[in-house]
Amino acid sequence: MSVSRHLPEYPILLAGVATPVVKGLREMGLPVTELHDDLAQLSGYQLSRWNLLLVGSQKTFNEQDLQILSHCKIPVIDLSEFTSKSASGRAKNELGTASRTDIEQFHSQFVIQLKERLQQTGGAWMRVGDYPYPYQGVICYGESALRKEFREFSDVMSPLPTPLDFLHVKSESEGHGKPDTEMQRKLRVELVSRYRQGLPVSLPSVTSREELNLLFQNINLDRKQIPLVWVTSLEMFFRWWNLRHQLAVSISRTSTGWETIISSNFKGFWPSLQIWKGQHSATVSIPQGVNEIRDESIAFVSNPERHPGGFTAHWAGLNSNQLPVDFKKLTASAAS
């Protein structure tokens, strides 16, 4: 006789989900785990409060799997419904037959739809934050030998594409060395905008923290507008992102809040957990080991400009090289 055990709320379970989507979910910090071959590993588990099974559009189950799924009474989302505006997901009793829709793809709107459906099933949208606690953005200086390695494991969308390709300004300087006040204004506005959206910034032409602080002074950037920005080297950010990519998080609901379990080595970093309710989010620290997050300690704030999937989901599906900018000229013009 099997022993009754309870499923934690996270990680979310995946069955037959397309590999690019699995990588995208993991890179944006959503705790997920793949169920391989069949659902036998769910035998003996009972649903405590909530968990979720995401089923790939081409995944099918045999009769035994469907019986196990029915016993667990776990909510199921068939990703077929996200493949087009007119598509609909299969019901539980239809999961023995493959969907006739296209295979699911990871992109910005997919994540927004998934968040909405997840919340409709009674779950809370949670993910590991993009930056160490308590930061809400990052500005990186310098270059790093890890860039090539970073691009290789960042399979969805590099959070630091071609240096500042996303700056929507032209690097034009007038007056032979005189400061270009309009350029300074545009750079200042863009840095604040990036921060409010939670998007990272890379300034490879700025070689040190001191030089970056001087740039902030020259463009009259008020640091109060970016109060929780992480100023660090590009190499340090890559090290953090690689470590974050490896974090394994288990989250369970308790009568007073949430219990988190993390066994990974932080190596000097302090990860965060982002919890969403509609357009409001809260960021809390998640120490190593077992930790309780009490409901009364969670402070939600409005974040209409930020993507609930973070910056990798924000950029997913976009062409990072569509607006090339020579940022070396831009920062030189702004700082002169």
- pLDDT for residue 320: 39
Q: Residue 171: what are its φ and ψ, rounded to 5°? A: -85, 80
| Rounded Cα–Cα distance for residues 201 and 137 (Å) | 8
- pLDDT for residue 45: 63
145 token code pair: 């030998």
| Rounded Cα–Cα distance for residues 80 and 90 (Å) | 7
Is there a contact between 68 and 74 (Cβ–Cβ < 8 Å)?
Answer: no
Helix (H, G, I), strand (E, B) or coil at 231: strand
pLDDT band at residue 89, thresholds of 50, 70 and 90? very high
- pLDDT for residue 256: 95
pLDDT band at residue 190, thresholds of 50, 70 and 90? confident
- pLDDT tens digits, one per residue of 226-246: 999 999 998 899 889 888 988
| Rounded Cα–Cα distance for residues 260 and 289 (Å) | 8
Q: Which residues of 311-329 are buried (b: 16+ CB within 10 A; e: fewer)?
A: bbbbbbeeeeeeeebebee
Q: Is the pLDDT of residue 108 over 90?
A: yes
The hierarchical CATH code for the domain 5-123 is 3.40.50
Cβ atoms within 10 Å of 244's Cβ, excluding its own: 20
- Mean per-residue pLDDT of the chain: 82
Q: Is the pLDDT of residue 68 over 50?
A: yes
What are the residue ranges spanned by the domains of the chain?
5-123, 129-286+317-336
Any idea what the Cα angle at residue 148 is, between residues 142 and 153, rounded to 5°? 120
- pLDDT tens digits, one per residue of 115-128: 999 999 989 999 99
- pLDDT for residue 219: 87
- pLDDT tens digits, one per residue of 129-162: 999 999 999 998 887 776 666 654 443 334 444 3
- pLDDT for residue 329: 46
Parallel/antiparallel/unpaired status of strands 137-141 and 201-203: parallel
CA–CA distance from 164 to each of 137, 299, 316, 330 (Å)?
15, 32, 17, 10
Q: What is the residue-wise DSSP string for 146-199?
A: THHHHHHH--S--SS-STTTT--S-----STTS--HHHHHHHHHHHHHHHHHT-
Q: Is the pLDDT of residue 187 over 70?
A: yes
- pLDDT for residue 283: 97
56 token code pair: 């790939």
Element (H, E) at 245: helix 234-246
| Rounded Cα–Cα distance for residues 204 and 185 (Å) | 20
User: Mean pLDDT throughout 104-112?
Assistant: 94
Cβ atoms within 10 Å of 165's Cβ, excluding its own: 17
Task: Work out the angle between the directed axes of helices 209-218 and 327-335 (0-180°, nearest 10).
Answer: 60
